Amino acid sequence: VYGFVRQSGGNIRVRSTPGKGTQVTFVLPRTDPPPASAPTARRTGASANARRCPVLLVEDEPEVRKIIRLQLTELGYPVLEADNGVDAEALLAHVPDIGLLISDTVMPGGIGGKALLRFARETRPDLPALLITGYASGDAGDEGDAPGAPVLRKPFDRDVLERTLQTLLIDVEPKP
């Protein structure tokens, strides 16, 4: 929570009074709502094909996973979910239709996002992948490098996710 608040430009105030309890206040910057924009036209090629194939979303925090799943479905992506790297590896190994991997970098259970990405690269080298993290700089896990995947910092909104995925999918689009 502290990382999310600080990354958003805010702070946390904690006041504790013996015998009365503790008050925690989250202070976040106020922002104006984004301007209404015209719906963007769907891209063709790799991004359109990826939207027909399920996205494997791997996130251990249920509420964060729910928000990202809703963003992805609003963008037209079917979503498969896993809450840990072990289940995600099994899905990658047994569901050939998965067209995109989105994984948190740090998860409990021994297989984090970078290890999962290495597994995906070994078994499905052409699978587009995006890592997500809530850490402001780097990540807390020491899993070694995971080259070939952009990292998106949480929290992010649907528009940032859409732009990131469009860039990622255009980069992997086959050249004629």
- Would you tell me how many other CB atoms lie within 10 Å of the CB of residue 28? 12
What's the rounded Cα separation, in Å, for the pair 71 and 77?
9
pLDDT digits (tens, 9 = 90+) for 110-136: 788 899 999 999 999 999 999 998 875
Which residues is 151 bridged to in the sheet?
131
Among 26, 22, 24, 29, which Cα is nearest to 8's?
29
Regions of the chain with pLDDT less than 70:
3-4, 6-7, 32-52, 136-147, 171-176
Per-residue model confidence as pLDDT tens digits over 153-172: 988 889 999 999 988 887 55
3-state secondary structure 86-121: HHHHHHHHHCCCCCEEEEECCCCCCCCHHHHHHHHH
pLDDT of amino acid 29: 77
Q: What is the pLDDT of residue 132?
A: 93
pTM (global) more than 0.75: no
Three-point CA angle 148, 151, 65, nearest 5°: 120
Give CA–CA dist 91/13, Å, rounded.
42
C-alpha to C-alpha distances, 117 to 36, 84, 152, nearest whole angstrom? 36, 13, 15
What pLDDT sits at residue 40? 47
